[in-house]
Amino acid sequence: MALFLKPIFHEKIWGGTKLRDLGYDIPSDKTGEAWGIAAHPNGNCEILNGPYKGQTLANLWNEHRELFGDFPSKDFPLMTKIVDATESLSVHVHPDDAYAFEMEAGQYGKSECWYIIAAEEGAEIVYGLNVDHKEEAIDVIDDAAFDSAFNKVKVKPGEFYFIPAGTVHSIGAGVLVYETMQSSDVTYRIYDYDRTENDTKRTLDHDKAKDVIEISTENINIATDTEIIENHRRTQLVSNDFFTMVKWEISGTLNYMKPREFVLVSVIGGEGQVIVDGTVFDVTQGQNFILTSDDLDTIFEGDFELIISYL
């Protein structure tokens, strides 16, 4: 049986109200994130249906690992969220697994990827620094020479970006992003526009940021691979050691075969049905569910867009 999950909302200084447009009942006009599939201590989603209704995803991972193909990781490895950046996020960086394990009490590092759901005209992201070497990046931080240091990229709906651990980045104002990432909530702020919370300037994490920054010369635009399957469009956005992320544009009926023992599914547009081993579930924009190792026969039917992520 597919496991549908209750989203968890996080209010942010830069958040807004766009998550309402996806059908979410958000807690305030400063809601920045909807964690759709998560089993993290800072956001542990509740199962909404079936025999495990009311349990958390982390509890299922710990007590019923067979639902996930007995995957050997101690913690549930992935997380999905939607981010509403009404104002710009801080410019920040995430550590890799080795650094996070040592310095952040055994947590995962954080590589992530972004699918741009919506973006206002002229909206930007920060992706990397305008330097060639890490020593230059450290000088930028030490000297607070941020005016021209950040590599800013204008974005449009439908674009995709992969952000490996160590990459300096930020989502700019007016951008709505779907994210798949490692299950981590470790962030090192580099620059935050001198914003305050509760009359106190928000903390920066320059020492740790300088430790983990990586300078890459790779092209930020990942080449995606699109194919037509049963008259539906399948676009593989990324596949690496951390996750694979695929966008499906479905119109009609798709007989879906899971590529792994469990997959994470988010409905980012439209509506339809998912039929799992004969059980019919109505699905609509904003819903999130997991197909487990018990789910052998899956059919998607309707007109909707899905993002499916897996290991």
- List C-alpha distances in Å: 7 to 37, 184, 219, 256: 7, 17, 33, 25
Structural domains of the chain, ranges and CATH numbers in brackets: 3-212 (2.60.120.10), 225-310 (2.60.120.10)
Asked if residue 64 belongs to a known ligand binding site, the reply is: no
Active site residue 189: yes
| Model pLDDT for residues 114-151, shown as the tens digit of each residue | 999 999 999 999 999 999 999 999 999 999 999 899 99
Lowest mean pLDDT among 168-177, 194-203, 260-269: 194-203
Altogether, the residues listed in the chain come to a count of 311
**Is pLDDT at 61 greater than 80 in this prediction?**
yes
Average per-residue pLDDT for the chain: 95
Asked if residue 94 belongs to a known ligand binding site, the reply is: yes
Pairing mode, strands 298-310 and 288-291 = unpaired
> Average pLDDT in the 39-65 region?
97
Indicate yes or no: pTM above 0.85: yes
| Model pLDDT for residues 211-248, shown as the tens digit of each residue | 999 997 665 656 678 999 989 999 999 999 999 999 99
What pLDDT, on the 0 to 100 scale, is given for residue 223?
64
| CA separation for the pair 24, 291 (Å, rounded) | 22
Note whether 245 and 237 are within 8 A (CB).
yes
29 exposed, middle or buried (CB, 10 Å; 0-12, 13-18, 19+)?
Answer: exposed
| Model pLDDT for residues 8-20, shown as the tens digit of each residue | 999 999 999 999 9
**Is pLDDT at 107 greater than 80 in this prediction?**
yes
What pLDDT, on the 0 to 100 scale, is given for residue 216?
78
What pLDDT, on the 0 to 100 scale, is given for residue 221?
59
> Average pLDDT in the 175-204 region?
95
Task: Measure the CA dihedral 4/294/305/81, to 10°.
Answer: 50
Residues 189, 195, 234, 260: which is the catalytic one?
189
> Average pLDDT in the 96-117 region?
96
Asked if residue 121 belongs to a known ligand binding site, the reply is: no
> Average pLDDT in the 50-64 region?
97
